């Protein structure tokens, strides 16, 4: 049964309820949701619900109609997010696990790990204990294989998963792996389920060859009843009379299961079809059906594979599939989980992973306006200059930088769309702050150069355009040469060491490169400001945010392609009295002429109302995400 607690329940009341239920023979699990806290009481015991309903702190009691209780959506409405190493599975993410059917040698798993990671897989798979139909087939390398798998995972920064076939192997295996895989043949090996469940480690639970959806969920219930709630279900095809494929992929199981349980469900097109050419199309079918990810067999030399070669993709085919999955993920309102952001040796030690670096990443060369924004926010932190905006997101994801500083809009040039798109594409990063910088342009040249010497002026096209009045008046004969960024232009003229070259950039770029400012404040419009966002991994946001009160929120949502759907979403915000700031639309890849909407709103002293609005918008919109709540002091 589900015991829904009062919002104001006291901790002592909650303890009393729990103890009462435990005394009656129930196992009790507390689930803290966004809307309410509930207790799930499961077990063989029976009790008159009315007795519990009358206890202090209880709002209501609802029986769970399904035979699986802990796994049921009735008990927990929100999606469970399973954490494997530093990869999250579930919610709006699409996670791809890949690797060979079996670990065959150290060299083989290292090669394949490097290839699948390069293509974008985030979890490495590879069997060390192979349950084979024939006793004469290759049975796996056992513990030796686990060592190779672990080494490959560590080297390429991927958590690893492998199949466990015997309860006696569980303790030994837990030292090497990040997630247990329970194979189709063992889905109802209850002793194995109990033993694995007790480790509390993440589990990938394959659907049995002839298991109904209910039996499959009951197997998940076994794992949960024994201790783990970190379960990913995997549809891998079922046995039917059809012989054209190895098994029959039950694609419709995906949306059905997702409705019945809060646990994420992924698909395995390799074992479902057994045929290489079917793996990619069925992968897309699974994603289209709502799967939270895929498990795909990939081999560098499938023709020599010791098991399942005919269904293993070549690395190049896998790479192509990953591109298709990425495109499709936006169509279904999800984002592809990125290549791991893990500092390999500390896979299990999340705190260390992220405190390792306290650098601040920004795009551009040293002395760029973004660096100025970094300095305004963080006095004494080291910086990490990146070539592209996307690299800033990547370095923050990987833990190579603690935070990133990104321009979002300029008062003259408008929105920097690339960064709105990047925010959409990196669901695990949040916006934690804002910084404004006035863009003051300077004419920078080599020491001793005069205006008369200058023949060419380098800068970002916007820098050149923003100083056109000065250039026309003061340097009418100099040629304006577009460059990829302002500070980069300064570095370039320094390297050329030519007095006839000048650059337009901010003062820090001149200081950093030891060059001279020939004229300062040469921009045509003094009202030239750039607004920056500070981004962070969720787990690192807390320290930064505790320093100040959030007064602004940014969110991104998709609405259905129907008249009034955007209006309805905005009206909800208006009805709650939220004052909107910025509103942008961005095209959704793969859905021509459909858009994601980016919205900022003031939330000062309205945080509670904002939480309410978020819940309503989550229901109303086809996808909805708060990018961050932060303090905008400017």
Task: Provide the annotated active-site residues.
Answer: 530, 532
Place of tokens 């569980």: 170
Here's the x/- map for Mn ion, 295-334, by CB under 5 A: it reads as -------------x--------------------------
Query: Residues binding ligand PEP: what is the number (CB under 6 A)?
Result: 9
Applying CB under 6 A, among 79, 104, 163, 391 the residue interacting with ligand PEP is 163
Strands 93-99 and 335-336: parallel
Residues 229/70, Cβ–Cβ less than 8 Å: yes
- 302 is an interface residue for ligand PEP by CB under 6 A: no
Minimum distance from residue 311 beta carbon to Mn ion (Å): 7
Minimum distance from residue 272 beta carbon to Mn ion (Å): 11
**Half-sphere exposure (Cβ direction) of 250: Cα atoms closer than 13 Å:** 21
Here's the x/- map for ligand PEP, 190-209, by CB under 6 A: it reads as ----------------x---
Q: Which residues of 533-543 are buried (b: 16+ CB within 10 A; e: fewer)?
A: bbbbbebbbee
Residue count (the chain): 634
Residue 25 CA to residue 331 CA, distance in Å, equals 47
Residue 442 CA to residue 439 CA, distance in Å, equals 10
Query: Residues binding Mn ion: what is the number (CB under 5 A)?
Result: 2
Among the listed ranges 82-90, 97-105, 368-376, 440-448, the one in contact with Mn ion (CB under 5 A) is 97-105
Residue 529 CA to residue 449 CA, distance in Å, equals 29
3-state class of 538 per DSSP?
Answer: helix
Give strand ranges (E) for 25-112.
27-32, 37-42, 58-62, 82-84, 87-89, 93-99
Strands 456-459 and 403-410: unpaired
Find which of Mn ion, ligand PEP, none residue 509 binds, CB within 5 to 8 Å per kind: none
Quote the tokens at residue 168: 């006696």
Applying CB under 6 A, among 95, 123, 184, 196 the residue interacting with ligand PEP is 184
- 232 is an interface residue for ligand PEP by CB under 6 A: no
Here's the x/- map for ligand PEP, 84-123, by CB under 6 A: it reads as -----------------x----------------------
Could you tell me which of 441, 379, 383 has the C-alpha nearest to residue 410?
A: 441
Here's the x/- map for ligand PEP, 337-376, by CB under 6 A: it reads as ----------------------------------------
Here's the x/- map for ligand PEP, 270-299, by CB under 6 A: it reads as -x----------------------------
215 has which bridge partners?
none
- 535 is an interface residue for ligand PEP by CB under 6 A: no
Among the listed ranges 21-29, 100-108, 395-403, 470-478, the one in contact with Mn ion (CB under 5 A) is 100-108
Numbers of helices and strands, H then E, in the chain: 22, 30
81: phi then psi, degrees, rounded to nearest 5? -105, 115
- 101 is an interface residue for Mn ion by CB under 5 A: yes
Residue 554 CA to residue 577 CA, distance in Å, equals 16
Find which of ligand PEP, Mn ion, none residue 221 binds, CB within 5 to 8 Å per kind: none
Minimum distance from residue 289 beta carbon to ligand PEP (Å): 18
Residue 454 CA to residue 445 CA, distance in Å, equals 8
Residue 18 CA to residue 581 CA, distance in Å, equals 46
Minimum distance from residue 182 beta carbon to Mn ion (Å): 14
Neighbour count for residue 50 (Cβ, 10 Å): 8
- 163 is an interface residue for Mn ion by CB under 5 A: no
Applying CB under 6 A, among 29, 117, 236, 491 the residue interacting with ligand PEP is 236
Residue 76 CA to residue 57 CA, distance in Å, equals 19
| Structural Rg of the chain based on CA atoms | 28
Applying CB under 6 A, among 127, 153, 293, 628 the residue interacting with ligand PEP is 127
Among the listed ranges 95-103, 370-378, 449-457, 607-615, the one in contact with Mn ion (CB under 5 A) is 95-103
Residue 555 CA to residue 601 CA, distance in Å, equals 9
Find which of Mn ion, ligand PEP, none residue 163 binds, CB within 5 to 8 Å per kind: ligand PEP
- 246 is an interface residue for ligand PEP by CB under 6 A: no
Which of 236/537 has CB closer to ligand PEP?
236
Residue 479 CA to residue 455 CA, distance in Å, equals 6
Residue 276 DSSP one-character state: H
Minimum distance from residue 426 beta carbon to ligand PEP (Å): 29
Residues 467/441, Cβ–Cβ less than 8 Å: yes
Could you tell me which of 284, 397, 399 has the C-alpha nearest to residue 349?
A: 399
Which of 104/308 has CB closer to Mn ion?
308
Minimum distance from residue 268 beta carbon to Mn ion (Å): 9
CB-closest chain residue to ligand PEP: 183
Which of 206/494 has CB closer to ligand PEP?
206
- 409 is an interface residue for Mn ion by CB under 5 A: no
- Positions touching Mn ion (CB under 5 A) are 101, 308
- Positions touching ligand PEP (CB under 6 A) are 101, 127, 163, 183-184, 206, 236, 268, 271
């Amino acid at each position: 049964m589900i015991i829904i607690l009062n919002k104001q329940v006291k901790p002592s009341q909650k303890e009393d309820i729990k103890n009462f239920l435990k005394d009656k023979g129930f196992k009790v699990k507390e689930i803290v949701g966004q809307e309410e806290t509930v207790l799930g009481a499961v077990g063989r015991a029976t009790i008159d619900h009315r007795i519990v309903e009358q206890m202090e702190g209880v709002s209501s009691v609802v029986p769970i109609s399904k035979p699986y209780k802990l796994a049921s959506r009735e008990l927990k409405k929100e999606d469970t997010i399973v954490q494997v190493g530093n990869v999250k599975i579930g919610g709006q993410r699409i996670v791809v696990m890949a690797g060979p059917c079996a670990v065959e040698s150290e060299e083989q798993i290292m090669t394949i790990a490097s290839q699948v990671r390069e293509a974008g897989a985030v979890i490495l798979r590879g069997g060390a204990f192979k349950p084979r139909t024939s006793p004469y087939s290759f049975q796996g390398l056992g513990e030796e294989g686990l060592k190779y798998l672990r080494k490959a995972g560590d080297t390429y920064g991927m958590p690893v998963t492998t199949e466990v076939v015997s309860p006696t192997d569980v303790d030994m295996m837990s030292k090497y792996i990040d997630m247990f895989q329970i194979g189709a043949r063992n889905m109802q090996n209850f002793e194995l389920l109990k033993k694995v469940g007790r480790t509390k480690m993440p589990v990938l639970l394959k659907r049995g060859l002839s298991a109904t959806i209910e039996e499959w969920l009951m197997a998940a219930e076994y794992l949960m009843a024994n201790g783990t709630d970190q379960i990913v279900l995997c549809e891998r095809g079922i046995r039917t009379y059809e012989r054209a494929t190895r098994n029959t992929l039950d694609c419709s199981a995906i949306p059905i299961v997702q409705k019945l349980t809060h646990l994420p469900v992924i698909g395995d097109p390799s074992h479902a079809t057994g045929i290489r050419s079917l793996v990619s199309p069925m992968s897309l079918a699974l994603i289209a059906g709502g799967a939270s990810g895929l498990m795909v067999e990939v081999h560098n030399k499938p023709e020599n594979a010791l098991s399942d070669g005919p269904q293993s993709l070549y690395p190049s085919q896998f790479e192509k599939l990953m591109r298709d999955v990425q495109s499709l993920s936006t169509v279904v309102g999800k984002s592809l989980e990125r290549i791991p952001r893990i500092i390999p040796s500390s896979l299990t030690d999340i705190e260390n992973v992220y405190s390792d670096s306290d650098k601040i990443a920004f795009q551009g060369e040293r002395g760029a306006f973004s660096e100025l924004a970094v300095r305004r926010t963080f006095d004494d932190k080291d910086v990490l200059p990146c070539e592209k905006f996307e690299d800033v997101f990547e370095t923050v994801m990987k833990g190579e930088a603690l935070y990133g500083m990104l321009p979002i809009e300029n008062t003259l040039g408008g929105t920097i769309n690339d960064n709105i798109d990047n925010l959409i594409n990196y669901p695990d990063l949040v916006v934690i702050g804002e910084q404004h910088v006035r863009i003051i342009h300077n004419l920078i040249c080599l020491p001793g150069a005069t205006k008369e010497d200058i023949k060419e002026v380098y800068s970002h096209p916007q820098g050149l355009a923003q100083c056109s009045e000065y250039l026309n008046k003061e340097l009418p004969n100099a040629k304006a040469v577009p460059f990829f960024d302002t500070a980069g232009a300064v570095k370039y003229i320094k390297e050329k060491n030519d007095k006839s070259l000048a650059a337009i950039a901010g003062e820090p770029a001149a200081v950093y490169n030891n060059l001279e400012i020939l004229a300062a404040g040469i921009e045509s419009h003094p009202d030239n400001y750039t607004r920056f966002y500070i981004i962070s991994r969720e787990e690192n946001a807390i320290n930064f945010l505790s320093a100040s009160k959030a007064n602004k929120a940014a969110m991104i949502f998709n609405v259905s392609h129907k008249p009034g759907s955007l209006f309805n979403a905005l009206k909800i915000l208006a009805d709650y009295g939220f004052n909107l700031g910025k509103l942008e639309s961005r095209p959704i890849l793969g859905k021509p002429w459909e858009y994601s909407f980016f919205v900022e709103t003031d939330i000062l002293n309205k945080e509670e109302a904002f939480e309410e609005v978020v819940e309503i918008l989550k229901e109303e919109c086809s996808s909805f995400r708060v990018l961050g709540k932060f303090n905008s002091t400017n």
